[in-house]
Amino acid sequence: MRSLYIAILLLSSLSLLGTSWRGRRHRELLHADQPEVEDWLDDPPGLSVAGILLLSLVLSILLPQVGTFPLLLLFFADPINVVVLRLLGKPVARRRR
């Protein structure tokens, strides 16, 4: 049952990622007059959440005794994304507060 829960989370994350990619390719779908849209477009899409969920799903299937503890890695999704972007040599957008 835990694996089903994690699989649904993964599917949801991949759906949001697909929506994000579609919005980036078809900017006419976005509200371009909003300043947060430019910030969102400058920030590269992160694959870390989907990656962590995929890892959690695999672990929950192969090692059922770990339960949902691998989901705690989601707390580190943003730092993981920053590290991956730096390793790939891509710019890391700074968030406005």
Please check whether residue 96 lies inside any domain of the structure.
no
d(CA 13, CA 28): 23
pLDDT over 90 (residue 53): yes
Q: At what angle do helices 48-62 and 77-88 cross, to 10 degrees?
A: 120
Please check whether residue 97 lies inside any domain of the structure.
no
Please check whether residue 66 lies inside any domain of the structure.
yes
Number of domains in the chain: 1
Range of the domain at 70: 2-88
**What global pTM score does this model have?**
0.77
For 62-78, b where at least 16 C-beta lie within 10 A, e where not — what string?
eeeeeeeebbebbeebe
Which pLDDT band, with edges at 50, 70 and 90, does 97 fall under? very low
Please check whether residue 32 lies inside any domain of the structure.
yes
Mean pLDDT in residue range 35-63: 83
Average pLDDT, the chain: 83
Please check whether residue 60 lies inside any domain of the structure.
yes
d(CA 80, CA 47): 10
